Amino acid sequence: MKLLICPTPGCSGLLYLEDLRCDSCGAEVAYHALSGTMVAINGPDLHVANRLWHLCINRDRGCNWLSDGDSSTGQCFGCRIIRTRPNDADLEALNRLADASQSERRLLVQLNSLGLPVDPYFEDDGGLGFDLLSSEHQQVTTGHENGIVTIDLAETSDAYRERLRVQLGEPYRTMLGHFRHEVGHYYEWVLVEQTGWITECRELFGDERASYSAAIDRHYSNGAPEGWHDSFISEYATMHPWEDFAECFAHYLHITDTLSTAASAGMELVPGRDVLPALPLAVSPRSRYGADDFDALMDDWQWVSAFFNRINRSMGEADLYPFTISQQVADKLRFVHRVLTQLPRTRVSEPDGFGRTVHSTEPSE
């Protein structure tokens, strides 16, 4: 994630993507998706890059994005792409929506930075959209169908989510992780299943046409197969080829975003030779890894994740990245990397800065 700096003259405070104001100087700020920067708020109407922008009408619910001045809804792109949300009378669910929406907007920023098409449901049949509802008030099943990602807002509760994590034997469970996993289903459907990538995908992940309902029954009756660590990134990935791809897609986003954040801060690992003689001369994470840079990405991640795991343990926390990447999993991640880095750059960029339709998604030679 790109490093964000307070735009107020004389202030160099560091900002998080979700910040509504700067902790250092107190100035109110908003996120301008088109430039990927924070701007200072000096009124309801802002002129940025010679264009008119407004504060998103959901700012009172924690949204700090700007809305295109021509928008008829008054909502930013991140809010408009939410198809269904709790009703206005459900204040508790709306508070949970505000928390979940932070993860949703963080996801959208990363998808855009990777050059992925974000065709919204309100412009294209089968386009991407989010239904964010709480199982505390109705039946909600987290998943993806025909471009719509459904997320259970009840999981914004740390206690609820941790209980499920322990119950399911998972080493990691976050709202951002849910968004990254479910959107992986969407991009497999759009970029792989409907293109020439599908044959190679089936060779690596298995045939996605296998019965999903049967796979669910088998997984929850028998659990993961013995020795699953050799071929899968998680137990859940063993259930069905769709889940294997979505898990690998999510991990690719975990890895690249963490490395990008480290790179934006100028992080470099240069330990003494007597400490870690096996370490390269220096490990310098990158903000972007090209089509031919997958091995470098994996090498950097090996050392950076080990460093962050040790930092977490110094604070008495569990490992930041409690996973082992086997050679077979690395091959699957390499496939995801190739699909995403070989996308034709003929997408349409809309006024709000988000890329739209990719005209061809055939694998490059």
Residue 359 pLDDT: 45
Helix pair 175-187, 91-113: axis angle to 10 deg: 50
Q: Note whether 143 and 246 are same-domain residues.
A: yes
Q: Note whether 193 and 285 are same-domain residues.
A: yes
CB atoms within 10 A of CB 163: 12
pLDDT tens per residue, the chain (365 residues)?
A: 889 999 999 998 999 999 999 999 999 999 999 899 999 998 878 988 888 999 999 999 999 999 987 778 899 999 999 999 998 888 888 999 999 999 999 999 999 999 998 999 999 899 999 999 999 888 999 999 999 999 999 999 989 898 988 888 888 999 999 999 999 999 999 999 999 999 999 999 999 999 999 999 999 999 999 999 999 999 999 999 999 999 999 999 999 999 999 999 999 988 655 566 666 678 899 999 999 999 999 999 999 999 999 999 999 999 999 999 999 999 999 999 999 999 875 555 566 767 665 444 455 44
Residue 279 pLDDT: 62
- Dist. CA 244–CA 163, nearest whole Å: 23
Q: Note whether 134 and 105 are same-domain residues.
A: yes
Residue 7 located in a structural domain: yes
Distances (CA, A) of 44 to 23, 65, 154, 199: 21, 12, 33, 51
CA atoms within 13 A on the CB side of 51: 14
In the DSSP assignment, the letter for residue 234 is S
Q: Note whether 85 and 145 are same-domain residues.
A: yes
Residue 364 pLDDT: 46
Q: Note whether 94 and 234 are same-domain residues.
A: yes
Q: Note whether 66 and 154 are same-domain residues.
A: no
Q: Note whether 264 and 130 are same-domain residues.
A: yes
CA atoms within 13 A on the CB side of 320: 18
Q: Note whether 11 and 88 are same-domain residues.
A: no
Radius of gyration of the chain (CA): 21
CA atoms within 13 A on the CB side of 291: 11
Count of structural domains, the chain: 2
Residue 2 pLDDT: 86
Q: Note whether 100 and 233 are same-domain residues.
A: yes
Residue 32 located in a structural domain: yes
Residue 361 located in a structural domain: no
Q: Note whether 92 and 64 are same-domain residues.
A: no
Residues 6+ apart with CB under 8 A from 237: 243, 244, 247, 248
Beta strands in the chain (DSSP E): 4-5, 14-15, 29-32, 37-40, 45-48, 51-55, 66-68, 82-84, 129-133, 143-145, 148-152
Residue 292 located in a structural domain: yes
Q: By CB neighbour count within 10 A (0-12 exposed, 13-18 middle, 19+ buried), where does 350 fall?
A: middle
Residue of 284, 313, 318, 314 whose CA lies nearest to 301 = 284
Domain stops at, among 76, 91, 119: 76
Residue 273 pLDDT: 52
Residue 120 located in a structural domain: yes
- Dist. CA 43–CA 34, nearest whole Å: 19
Domain stops at, among 26, 56, 76: 76
Residue of 237, 260, 261 whose CA lies nearest to 328 = 237
- Dist. CA 221–CA 253, nearest whole Å: 30
Distances (CA, A) of 52 to 70, 322, 324: 8, 45, 48
Residue 5 lies in domain: 1-76
- Dist. CA 102–CA 105, nearest whole Å: 5
Q: What angle do CA 250, 327, 183 make, to 5 degrees?
A: 10
Q: Note whether 162 and 238 are same-domain residues.
A: yes
Region of residue 263 (left: phi > 0; alpha: psi -120 to 50; beta: else): alpha
Residue 358 located in a structural domain: no
Residue 360 located in a structural domain: no
> With contact defined as beta carbons under 8 Å apart, do 356 and 119 qualify?
yes
Distances (CA, A) of 360 to 110, 122, 191, 220, 289: 21, 21, 9, 38, 22
Q: Note whether 92 and 69 are same-domain residues.
A: no
In the DSSP assignment, the letter for residue 193 is I
Cite the DSSP H helix spans in 212-240.
Answer: 212-222
Domain stops at, among 45, 76, 107: 76
Q: What angle do CA 305, 170, 325 make, to 5 degrees?
A: 40
DSSP string of 292-313, one letter each residue: T-HHHHHHHHHHHHHHHHHHHH
Residue 353 located in a structural domain: no
